[in-house]
């Protein structure tokens, strides 16, 4: 697993990367690995951090849409305004990755707590499935460690827009309530504690950041 320092270096490199191929990154993300084609998608950000799918912008949010010229024309125009969000990874305790599709099983062992004071039988081992278009991983950690994972209504990716003629990109989480019609974008931050679901110190996020970095296509 990459360190917090390495995760921050990737984040800083991403922010100033002018060589991201947006079209190919979206097309690659849409393959979604073993989850199946078109499971991942890109959304347009509006002021306030809410997002909308391209079919929703065109008047039918439930319409299936090809990644054609019209789609990318809307994406291109959105880059010059409040930007876009590209879904690149999922992480959930509810995702059970079949052994034949799992590229790595990681057992977290960097604990801060004193296990000598805890009966081993009282420990609760949690497993998170981490999925991108490039790879699938299983992350195991004891609940007592207090690390926050992500909900099934969330995914992780990047915000991208163009400021003063230059691309800017940031890691972010997209979240929705099952009753909401729009998604909220929540950026990662370096100063969150390890227990925070958007922290670079969080080992789950460090694995996701590394996976997302591999899923981004460069020009």
At 115, the pLDDT band (50, 70, 90 cuts) reads low
Mean pLDDT calculated for residue range 122-139:
90
At 128, the pLDDT band (50, 70, 90 cuts) reads very high
Provide the pLDDT for residue 60.
Answer: 78
Q: Are 29 and 133 in contact (CB under 8 A)?
A: yes
At 31, the pLDDT band (50, 70, 90 cuts) reads confident
pTM of the model: 0.87
Provide the pLDDT for residue 32.
Answer: 65
What's the token pair of residue 169? Answer: 């990109």
| Helical axes 69-79 vs 22-29, angle rounded to 10° | 120
Find the helix or strand (DSSP H, E) in which 15 lies. Answer: helix 4-15
Provide the pLDDT for residue 182.
Answer: 54
Residue 63 burial (10 A CB sphere; 0-12, 13-18, 19+):
exposed
Give the Cα separation of 90 and 41 in Å (integer): 12
Mean pLDDT calculated for residue range 185-190:
82
């Amino acid at each position: 697993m990459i360190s917090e320092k390495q995760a921050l270096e990737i984040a800083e490199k991403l922010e100033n990367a002018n060589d991201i191929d947006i079209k190919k990154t979206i097309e690659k993300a849409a393959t979604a690995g073993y989850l199946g084609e078109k499971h991942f998608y890109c959304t347009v950000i509006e002021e306030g951090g809410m997002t909308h799918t391209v079919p929703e912008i065109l008047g039918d949010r439930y319409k299936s849409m090809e990644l054609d010229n019209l789609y990318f024309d809307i994406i291109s125009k959105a880059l010059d305004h409040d930007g876009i969000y590209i879904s690149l990874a999922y992480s959930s305790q509810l995702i059970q990755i079949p052994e034949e599709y799992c590229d790595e099983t990681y057992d977290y062992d960097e604990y801060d707590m004193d296990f000598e004071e805890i009966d081993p039988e009282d420990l609760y081992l949690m497993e998170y499935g981490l999925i991108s278009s490039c790879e699938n991983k299983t992350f195991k950690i004891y609940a007592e460690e207090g690390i926050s994972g992500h909900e099934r209504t969330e995914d992780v990716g990047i915000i991208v827009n163009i400021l003063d003629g230059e691309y800017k990109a940031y890691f972010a989480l997209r979240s929705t309530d099952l009753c909401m019609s729009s998604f909220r974008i929540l950026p990662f931050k370096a100063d969150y504690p390890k227990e925070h679901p958007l922290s670079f110190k969080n080992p789950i996020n460090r694995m996701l950041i590394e996976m997302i970095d591999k899923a981004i296509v460069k020009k």
